[in-house]
């Protein structure tokens, strides 16, 4: 293949203590794959030494690296800017505090080329601060109703390789100015293609760091960004006439993210009380009969009770 095959886009914000390890893992994967790869680092006004780490690594390694600066806050803006500068046939969003496995690039690009996929999903190892881990399996196209599971999954953008021309043809971009920016679009992407493939192996190492944007010790108003993210996702399904077809999947996605996941953050802080109120409002608006959701009914009794308690907080 001529030209650049893969663009790895890495948004960077105050990731000084993680960035070298991330880049080292990318460098090794590129070397083992022999795939023509460019790395696009987009610094988002870091106040630590992230930019220096990026420039030093770019100078001292043969890896093709662009070090860019984006002065619009947030990972969404950094990713969007990175895409605008990418020249690879494929794009892969990698977070600066994570790592990729040694053979990830080779396996992903080979799968994409073999299947001519617009999207290749991968498995990921999720690492917790106490060093225990679990596995995030990929949705496989061989699964019955794989699109249903894809919609319910709630994956991060780093769990996919995308064909750049397909991404550009649909004008995809991350919603800027909010966290949960990936939630607003990722679960809808399967609506735009049947050319989907997967490598169900742990090709990505996702670290749930205590200092990440989603795990803060004090209240952040951006926790409430879950609401515009979910309404934006629903609007995408409505726009393509798929909100009814995937009603149960979207309903479960709202239940999980509002009454299980985000409720943990709301419960931590006094300011979070408004989050419970907003959760009730959005469920009443979009899914007033959510208690009868078929995916919720399949869950253990303990979780179903927890969901109902969180709804009434």
Residue 213's pLDDT is what? 55
Contact 65, 39 (CB under 8 A): yes
Q: Which of 167-171, 215-219, 262-266 has the lowest mean pLDDT?
A: 215-219
On whether residue 183 sits in a domain, the answer given is yes
Q: What is the CATH number of the domain that holds 111?
A: 3.90.550.10
How many helices and strands in the chain, by DSSP H and E? 12, 9
Q: Are residues 164 and 229 in the same domain?
A: no
Q: Are residues 303 and 178 in the same domain?
A: no
Q: Which of 173, 207, 241 is where one domain is finished?
A: 207
Residue 183's pLDDT is what? 92
Q: Are residues 124 and 152 in the same domain?
A: yes
On whether residue 74 sits in a domain, the answer given is yes
Compute the distance between CA of residue 130 and CA of residue 120 in angstroms, rounded to an integer.
Answer: 30
Residue 43's pLDDT is what? 95
For 10, residues 6+ apart whose C-beta sits below 8 A from its C-beta are 22, 23, 26, 39, 40, 41, 42, 82, 93, 94, 95, 96
Mean pLDDT of the region 142-149: 96
On whether residue 214 sits in a domain, the answer given is no
- Domain membership of residue 159 as a residue range: 6-207
Residue 218's pLDDT is what? 79
On whether residue 213 sits in a domain, the answer given is no
Q: Which of 150, 182, 207 is where one domain is finished?
A: 207
pLDDT digits (tens, 9 = 90+) for 199-237: 999 999 999 876 655 556 678 898 999 999 999 999 999
Residue 216's pLDDT is what? 64
Mean pLDDT of the region 174-180: 91
Residue 282's pLDDT is what? 97
Say if residue 156 is exposed, middle or buried (CB neighbours under 10 Å; 0-12, 13-18, 19+): middle
Residue 1's pLDDT is what? 40
pLDDT exceeding 90 applies to what percent of the chain? Answer: 88
On whether residue 295 sits in a domain, the answer given is yes
Counting the structural domains of the chain, the total is: 2
Q: Report in angstroms the alpha-carbon separations of 42 from 19, 46, 85, 120, 145.
A: 12, 10, 10, 23, 37
- Does 1 or 304 have the greater pLDDT score? 304
Q: Which of 149, 175, 207 is where one domain is finished?
A: 207
Question: pLDDT at residue 310 above 70?
Answer: yes
Q: Are residues 203 and 253 in the same domain?
A: no
Mean pLDDT of the region 189-207: 97
Compute the distance between CA of residue 134 and CA of residue 137 in angstroms, rounded to an integer.
Answer: 10
Residue 208's pLDDT is what? 87
Q: Are residues 84 and 146 in the same domain?
A: yes
pLDDT exceeding 70 applies to what percent of the chain? Answer: 97
On whether residue 226 sits in a domain, the answer given is yes
Residue 147's pLDDT is what? 98
On whether residue 212 sits in a domain, the answer given is no
Mean pLDDT of the region 245-250: 98
Model confidence, pTM: 0.94
The per-residue pLDDT of the chain, averaged, comes to 94
Mean pLDDT of the region 237-256: 98
Residue 313's pLDDT is what? 87
Mean pLDDT of the region 91-97: 97
Residue 212's pLDDT is what? 58
Residue 220's pLDDT is what? 87
Q: Are residues 260 and 151 in the same domain?
A: no
pLDDT digits (tens, 9 = 90+) for 5-48: 999 999 999 999 999 999 999 999 999 999 999 999 999 999 99
pLDDT digits (tens, 9 = 90+) for 46-68: 999 999 999 999 999 999 999 99
């Amino acid at each position: 293949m001529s030209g650049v095959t893969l663009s790895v886009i890495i948004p960077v914000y105050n990731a000084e203590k993680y960035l070298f390890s991330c880049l080292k893992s990318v460098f090794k994967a590129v070397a083992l794959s022999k795939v023509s790869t460019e790395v696009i680092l987009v610094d988002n006004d870091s106040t630590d030494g992230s930019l220096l780490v990026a420039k030093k690594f770019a100078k001292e390694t043969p890896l093709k690296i662009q070090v860019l600066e984006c002065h619009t806050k947030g990972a969404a803006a950094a990713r969007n800017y990175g895409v605008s500068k990418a020249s690879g046939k494929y794009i892969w969003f990698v977070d600066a505090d994570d790592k990729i496995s040694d053979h990830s690039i080779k396996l992903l690009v080979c799968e994409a080329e073999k299947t001519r996929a617009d999207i290749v999903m991968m498995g990921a190892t999720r690492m917790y601060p106490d060093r225990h881990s679990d596995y995030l399996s990929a949705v496989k196209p061989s699964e019955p109703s794989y699109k249903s599971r894809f919609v319910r999954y709630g994956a991060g953008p780093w769990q996919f390789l995308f064909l750049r021309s397909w991404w550009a043809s649909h004008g995809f971009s991350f919603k800027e100015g909010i966290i949960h920016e990936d939630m607003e679009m990722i679960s809808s992407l399967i609506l735009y293609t049947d050319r989907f493939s997967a490598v169900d192996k742990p090709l990505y190492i996702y670290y749930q760091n205590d200092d990440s944007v989603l795990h803060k010790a004090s209240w952040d108003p951006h926790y409430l960004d879950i609401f515009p993210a979910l309404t934006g996702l629903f609007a995408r399904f409505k726009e393509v006439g798929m909100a009814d077809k995937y009603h149960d999947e979207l309903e479960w996605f709202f239940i999980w993210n509002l009454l299980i996941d985000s409720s943990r953050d709301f419960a931590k802080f006094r300011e979070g009380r408004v989050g419970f109120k907003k959760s009730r409002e959005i469920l009443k608006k979009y899914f007033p009969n959510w208690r009868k959701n078929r995916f919720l009914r399949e869950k253990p009794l303990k979780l179903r009770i927890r969901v109902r308690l969180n709804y009434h907080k």
